[in-house]
Amino acid sequence: MEKYILPKRQAITVFLVFAFGYFLSCLLRAITATLSPILTLEFELLAADLGLLAGGYFLGFACMQIPLGYLLDKFGPKKIVSSFLLIALIGTTSFALAQSFSGLLISRILIGVGVSACLMAPLTGYRIWFAENQQQRANSWMLMIASLGFLSSTLPVQLLLPSFGWRWIFGGISILILISIFLMLAFIPKWDHQNDIEKNSPKSGSLADVWNDKFFISVIPMGLFNYGGLMAIQTLWAGPWMTRVAGYTPLESATGLFWINITMLISFFLWGYFLPRITNLGFSALRILKLGLPISFIVMIGIIILGSKAGAFYITLFILSSIFLSVTQPAVGLSFPSHLAGKALTSFNLLIFLGTFIMQWLMGLVIDLVKNFGYSEILGFKTAFSTFLFLSLISYIFFLIINKKS
């Protein structure tokens, strides 16, 4: 496919507009962790209910990933992301007005559907509009924006709750989504490359080519369990762990989440800056994953053993030690030709968000199951985190076996 590299100033504008939409997506993704105490109290939620509610976002998000790949290739980022954000606008408005758990859940699913293009649209556009050596940096800095969204969902939301309540907070987010739609329509370039795609793409460019690829097969369990479990902890279970296991108050938990995400924001910025230099030294994405992932397993073992003594510092350490997973997504995109990039990226994103839905709900079910057998809630959380660790280890071993000759 022909490249249409944007001038520097326009490229910065495009990045910032996309970044604002993705910021809102991540704010909505993680806000359940901060709101979990008040929603649990107001709607009398069990741990499994809370996991399902948080996971509703990821279920809606995951369901759109495969059709999203086709839509992005055909219509381009501008039309798709602005149209989808209208669905998110409906979802945030209905969430603010919900009077039951089912109303909250349906709204969360709509939000997930609506923001599902907020990362894939930029990644698809960057492959055309940005120079190849800048794509990894742009991708990593989008993860930094994700951290900013997660950050804003913690202490800022907690401090606004007493004055405005969670319903008015969602009303304010609806206004921000509307602003994002206008910015997308005003500043994102038109998509004029469908003819190039059709002219240069082999006829065999289908989803089967993606899902039968050796490297893609090797990262399927990793996307579901390592990546999905990481996001499940980051966007939901880190907060309840701090309040129910480590003994934090809701404000202390929100403060802990705030500093976790401050650390992540800085780390992803530095990671995005140094990653091109690391790859230039001969460290491929494959090698980074092989050497880096075991660090996160060691940290998670420490958290499970320490239990109530493992507070925000240890959760932060685990999330930071999982930063090596961030190379997987751009590696998937770059391992395919341009005409398959959209399908490859959305397929892997499907795995991540389906995995997050599964892990958020599964961990809640495990917590409730252990409690129903008469054991403590702390043991329930430790068992849930152990389940995540076991699935992650199996996925990593599978990845090593498939790529043992690479």
Distances (CA, A) of 26 to 80, 261, 349, 390: 18, 12, 14, 27
Do the domain assignments include residue 199? Answer: no
Q: Using pLDDT thresholds of 50, 70 and 90, give the confidence band for residue 303.
A: very high
Residue 91 lies in a domain: yes
**Would you state the pLDDT for residue 297?**
97
Kindly state the tokens that stand for 212: 């039968």
Q: Would 306 be classed as within a structural domain?
A: yes
- Residue 201 domain-assigned? no
Model pLDDT, residue 12: 86
Number of CB atoms found within 10 A of residue 147's CB: 24
Contact 14, 188 (CB under 8 A): yes
Of 100-109, 256-265, 370-379, the range with the lowest mean pLDDT is: 256-265
Write the pLDDT tens digit of every residue in 151-202.
899 889 999 999 999 999 999 999 999 999 999 999 999 887 654 444 444 4
* CATH number assigned to the domain comprising residue 394: 1.20.1250.20
Residue 193 lies in a domain: no
Residue 314's domain comprises 8-188+207-402
Within-domain flag for 321 = yes
Provide the domain count of the chain.
1
Mean pLDDT on 348-364:
92
Nearest CA to 171 out of 89, 116, 115, 251 is that of 89
Residue 370 has phi, psi (to 5 degrees) of: -65, -40
Residue 198 counted as domain residue = no
Residue 132 inside a domain? The answer is: yes
pLDDT at residue 126, rounded to an integer: 84
Q: What's residue 128's pLDDT?
A: 82
